[in-house]
Amino acid sequence: MRWTRGGKSENVEDRRAESGGRGMRMGGGLGLGGLVIVAVIGLLMGENPLDLLTQLLGATGGKQIAAGPAPTEENLAKEEESVQFVSFVLDDAQVTWARLLPQAGASYQDAKLVLFRDAIESACGYAESAMGPFYCPGDQKVYVDLGFYDELKQRFGASGDFAQAYVIAHELGHHVQNLLGIERKVRQAQRANPGRENDLSVRMELQADCLAGIWGHSTAQRSILEGGDVEEGLNAAAAIGDDRIQRMSTGRVHPESFTHGSSAQRVAWFKRGLESGDVGRCDTFSARAP
């Protein structure tokens, strides 16, 4: 990507120095990368990631568990370019949505992006790095531990700056859903019909992928993308498909347990946004099969 170095967004809250060296609590739901990180842990430990997640949640029971040491100034300095990149993507995507969202009948309000390490407290509860990047509608903030990008690249082969940008754009897609009232309606529908909880979750995640693609379309129109960037984004979407993660961790695929969508679905909806740049093309809820 052609991005401008040297800046830090006023919408970035850098809380990395506050993380680590204190207890944390398990809570909240899985973010975009949650299944990725849990799958990695499961593979390393030789356990089923879904069983491991259940064990972790049950074992902690909301109690505090130890976090790692606070990051040093040297470590923070090494991540400075990543902070600048995240700032660029965040600001560019939010400027794009401020222009596009009124066409969908809503005004855009900037989200904050919180950088943390190990564990963080949000309006959605306590969260840890293993959950991956996530969006909390309660405080309208995106939470990112920069270490997630290393896992995405090293364990799942999704490298490149546009792969990283896709992650941020996906979480901002959830912010757009929140502003449009979609997030609230989906949660209400899930409570009213528990049997459709996973299906509705998949549709909401795939819509966020499509909305991320809309920002990608905008960057292509403005010549920010470089050769290979689109492939990096599509590879990232495929890397965190439910089927791929389940196959890597257990050797089996259980579509009924999907919460984010298959690799093919994630790629297809991200690509739809990339190619169309049209919010109206991202209606995953009306599609017969997402």
Task: Please report whether residue 126 resides in a domain.
Answer: yes
Q: What is the pLDDT of residue 288?
A: 86
Residue 3 forms part of a structural domain: no
pLDDT at residue 191, rounded to an integer: 96
- Quick one: 197 exposed, middle or buried, by C-beta within 10 A (0-12, 13-18, 19+)? middle
Is residue 123 domain-resident?
yes
Asked if residue 289 is part of any domain, the answer here is no
Highest mean pLDDT among 74-88, 127-141, 268-282: 268-282
Number of domains in the chain: 1
pLDDT of residue 71: 58
Q: Can you give the residue range of the structural domain that contains 53?
A: 12-282
pLDDT at 211 over 50: yes
pLDDT band at 60 (very low <50, low <70, confident <90, very high): very low
The answer as to whether 153 is a domain residue is yes
**Which of 30, 270, 269 is closest to 163 using CA atoms?**
270
Q: What DSSP line would sit under 12-51, residue for residue?
A: EEE-GGGSSSSEEE--S---TTHHHHHHHHHHHHTS-HHH
Overall average pLDDT of the 111-127 stretch: 92
Is residue 288 situated within a structural domain? no
Answer whether residue 36 shows pLDDT above 70: no
Report yes or no on 64 lying in a domain. Answer: yes
Q: What is the pLDDT of residue 248?
A: 83
Is 31 among the domain residues? Answer: yes
For residues 230 and 158, is the Cβ–Cβ distance under 8 A?
Answer: no
Cβ neighbours of residue 248 under 8 Å, at least 6 residues apart? 39, 43
The answer to pTM > 0.85 is no
* Per-residue pLDDT, 266: 96
Average pLDDT for residues 235-251, to the nearest whole number? Answer: 89
